[in-house]
């Protein structure tokens, strides 16, 4: 069964450093998403991406965040200057179309900011 | 904006018994989709079951079924013949079906319910 692949599985970074989280969505999917889950809390939407541009973003997705699909297969989330409160699990997801399809989620990247 | 509420932070069930997890949501839309996701300790998000709001028939997937009450905006998950592998956090989620709507495409999650299965 096709999978969404995320790397790395765990990343530790110093506060103020830039991090790039990487995702390879399922190849024939058209919609891509990033979600965040702070430990023990609910999953929160960050951003959706379609046709090489952001289609929607949440209030969490401020100027410190950016997304990119640099080569037609990877989908990246960059955090420019990490804060302690950015420590969370970050999930990439993709969907073939909107509609009744649930997304396929990746296994997540655990980001720890120290 | 849509909201999803799971009022049971924790539930427990004996192996082989049945358990029901509750979810309510608030929306002004008439066309949408609802989902239950399972998150085991590995933290992978696994789709359990989905329901289209325009369908009156409740969705079922093997031991998992839903009770969808559109007027009451309620979407509960029933797990029959519970197994130890069902132990996980369960999230209810909402997705608009409205093309171009502000929430089009994104999932709005509830707070989650931790399910413990006792042998």
Q: Is the pLDDT of residue A99 over 60?
A: no
With beta carbons less than 8 A apart as the criterion, state whether B20 and B78 touch: yes
- pLDDT digits over A48-78, tens only? 998 888 988 999 999 999 999 988 789 999 9
Angle in degrees, CA B43, B46, B47, rounded to 5: 150
**Which residues does B82 contact at the CB level (< 8 Å), separation at least 6?**
B13, B14, B15, B16, B17, B18, B19, B63, B117
Summarize pLDDT for B35-74 with one digit per residue, the tens: 999 999 888 899 999 999 998 899 999 999 999 999 999 9
What is the percent of chain B where pLDDT is above 90?
A: 78
pLDDT at A67: 96
Q: Supply the mean pLDDT for chain A.
A: 91
Centroid of chain to Cα A109 = 9
Tell which B residues from 30 to 89 touch A, by Cβ distance under 8 Å.
33, 35, 37, 42-47, 50, 52
B7-16, B79-88, B103-112: least confident range: B103-112
Residues of chain B neighbouring A110 (CB-CB closer than 8 A): 43
Secondary structure string (H, E, C) spanning chain B: CCEEECCCCEEEEECCCCEEECCEEECCCCCEEEEEEEECCCCCCEEEEEEECCCCCCCEECCEEEEEECCCCEEEEEECCCCHHHCEEEEEEEEECCCCCCCECCEEECCCEEEEEEC
Partners of A108 on chain B (C-beta within 8 Å) are 43-45
Closest CA to A83 of A13, A35, A23: A13
Distances (CA, A) of A38 to A10, B40, B72: 14, 16, 30
A42, A95, A99 member nearest B112 (Cβ): A42
Q: Which of B35, B97, B103 is opposite residue A99, by nearest beta carbon? A: B97
Query: Which residues in chain B are contacts of A37 at CB distance < 8 A?
Result: 43
The alpha-carbon gap from A88 to the nearest alpha carbon of chain B, in Å, equals 12
pLDDT of residue A98 exceeding 60: no
Would you state the pLDDT for residue B102?
Answer: 46
Q: Is B46 exposed, middle or buried (0-12, 13-18, 19+ CB in 10 A)?
A: middle
Q: Give yes or no for A97 touching B (CB within 8 A).
A: no
Name which of A31, A35, A102 is nearest B47 (Cβ-Cβ). A102
């Amino acid at each position: 069964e096709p999978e969404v692949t995320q790397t790395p599985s765990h990343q530790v970074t110093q506060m103020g450093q830039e991090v790039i989280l990487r995702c390879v969505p399922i190849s024939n999917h058209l919609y891509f998403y990033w979600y965040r889950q702070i430990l023990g809390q609910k999953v929160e939407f960050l951003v959706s991406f379609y046709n090489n541009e952001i289609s929607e973003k949440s209030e969490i997705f401020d100027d410190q965040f950016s997304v990119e699909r640099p080569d037609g297969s990877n989908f990246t989330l960059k955090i420019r200057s990490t804060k302690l409160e950015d420590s969370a699990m970050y999930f990439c997801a993709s969907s073939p179309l909107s509609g009744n399809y649930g997304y396929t989620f990746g296994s997540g990247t655990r980001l720890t900011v120290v | 904006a849509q909201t999803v509420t799971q009022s049971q932070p924790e539930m427990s069930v004996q192996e082989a018994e049945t358990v029901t997890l509750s979810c309510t949501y608030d929306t002004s839309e008439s066309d949408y989709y609802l989902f239950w996701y399972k998150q085991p300790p590995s933290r992978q998000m696994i789709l359990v079951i989905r329901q289209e709001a325009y369908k009156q028939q409740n969705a079922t997937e093997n031991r998992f079924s839903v009770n969808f009450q559109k007027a009451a905006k309620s979407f509960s998950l029933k797990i029959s013949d519970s197994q130890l592998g069902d132990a996980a956090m369960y999230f209810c989620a909402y997705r608009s079906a409205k093309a171009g709507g502000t929430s089009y495409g994104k999932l709005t999650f509830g707070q989650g319910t931790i399910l413990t299965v006792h042998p």
